[in-house]
Amino acid sequence: MKMIERKKILIFFIMILFVFLVIPVTIFKKILSQYFGFINVWIETPTLLIRHKVISKISNNARDEVDMRLPEFKFVKFSLKVNAKDVFLIGDFNKWSAVNPMNKRSGNNWELEIPLVRGRYKYLFLIDGREILDPLNPDTDYYNDKKVSVIEVK
């Protein structure tokens, strides 16, 4: 009789654990991956820069210290005033994928601040599925036969 009661108690605790851990994680996984998705994008560039510096110094048989400093990030703010449902920032800093949703502020103002290392970046706004140049930035270039906005981070 006691064995059956222990089994019931164990099954009860397993069900409680399932309800309070597994179900919320499954539900919020998509939300969390969208929120933290930018990390996978911008962490690759500094890692590649460090790896390149280390490999090039070692291959040159340099006896001085290997430069292992992380690149300096600058937070760049992108803003746009448009009446839209969804606005994303796409560019070569995130492999032209819609992983950086912009935040809607008061009225039709959209903003996003992202960390970038020094360099020249091409980008577009993705507004309700349509690619749009930055109306506040006159600097443009071409990427895959398409006109894109350009920003220089110093």
Which residues 6+ apart lie within 8 Å of 54 measured at CB? Answer: 66, 68
Contact 117, 75 (CB under 8 A): no
Rounded Cα–Cα distance for residues 137 and 122 (Å): 11
pLDDT digits (tens, 9 = 90+) for 39-89: 555 544 554 444 545 455 555 555 555 556 777 888 999 999 999 999 999
pTM above 0.85, yes or no: no
Instruction: List domains and CATH numbers for the chain.
Output: 36-153 (2.60.40.10)
Phi/psi region, residue 144 (left: phi>0; alpha: psi -120 to 50; beta: rest), is left
Structure token pair of residue 14? 């397993």
